């Protein structure tokens, strides 16, 4: 099985997990000399047209992309960036991976609990279920156990 990847897609959100997924993607990229595409998705509310002018969100998205791009530069990794507007991030990531011919999606996820149990975030869940390419999940470490109070 050929595991060589030409393009890696890394969705980012402006959270600390972004850096971990970029580091991971960079290690693959250096091995295979692949391109990295950092992707930020603006979710557009349904009461607005999909191509609505969302200056504030674009500004925030660009700031996030610039920050992660600087981080990537710092660790010696050349990346491209992409900004999307979509109703939901999950389908946009999957479709963009297809359009851009990405062979790998590296997606960072924070540790997330739903009803007291670990759950994959809906965005990552969708990508895991629907992406045509390989997906690597970079999950945050477990939150540290609360220290017992008064030695109990």
Q: Minimal CA–CA distance to 41: which of 121, 96, 114, 78?
A: 96
Q: Should residue 99 be labelled a site residue for other proteins when binding is judged by CB under 8 A? A: yes
Q: Take residue 49 and report the two structure tokens written for it.
A: 């047209």
d(CA 83, CA 136): 21
Is residue 126 within 8 Å of residue 94, measured between CB atoms? yes
Is residue 135 within 8 Å of residue 107, measured between CB atoms? yes
Q: Should residue 13 be labelled a site residue for other proteins when binding is judged by CB under 8 A? A: no
Look up residue 75 and give its DSSP letter.
T
The nearest distance, CB 94 to other proteins, in angstroms, is: 7
Is residue 68 within 8 Å of residue 38, measured between CB atoms? yes
Q: Which is nearer to other proteins, 55 or 146 (CB)?
A: 55
Q: Minimal CA–CA distance to 34: which of 84, 73, 77?
A: 77
Q: Which one of 2, 45, 47, 51 is in contact with other proteins (CB under 8 A)?
A: 51
Q: Should residue 60 be labelled a site residue for other proteins when binding is judged by CB under 8 A? A: no
Q: Which is nearer to other proteins, 1 or 50 (CB)?
A: 50
The nearest distance, CB 17 to other proteins, in angstroms, is: 23
Q: Which one of 81, 107, 109, 127 is in contact with other proteins (CB under 8 A)?
A: 81
Stretch that binds other proteins, among 7-15, 23-31, 85-93, 140-148 (CB under 8 A): 85-93
Q: Which one of 15, 23, 58, 120 is in contact with other proteins (CB under 8 A)?
A: 58
Give the SS3 label for residue 136: strand
Chain contacts with other proteins (rule: CB under 8 A): 41-42, 50-51, 53, 55, 58-59, 61-62, 66, 81-87, 91-92, 94-96, 98-99
């Amino acid at each position: 099985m050929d595991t060589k990847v030409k393009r890696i897609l890394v969705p980012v959100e402006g959270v600390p997990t972004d850096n971990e997924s970029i580091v991971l993607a960079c290690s693959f990229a250096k091995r295979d000399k692949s391109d990295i595409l950092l992707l930020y998705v603006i979710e557009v509310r349904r009461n607005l047209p999909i191509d609505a002018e969302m200056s504030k969100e674009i500004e925030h998205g660009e700031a996030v992309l610039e920050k992660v791009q600087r981080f990537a530069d710092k660790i010696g990794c050349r990346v491209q960036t992409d900004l999307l507007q979509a109703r939901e991030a999950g389908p946009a990531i999957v479709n963009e991976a297809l359009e851009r011919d990405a062979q790998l999606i590296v997606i960072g996820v924070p540790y997330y609990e739903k009803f007291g149990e670990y759950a994959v975030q809906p965005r990552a869940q969708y990508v895991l279920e629907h992406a045509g390419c390989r997906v690597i999940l970079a999950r945050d470490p477990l939150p540290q156990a609360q220290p017992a109070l008064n030695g109990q």
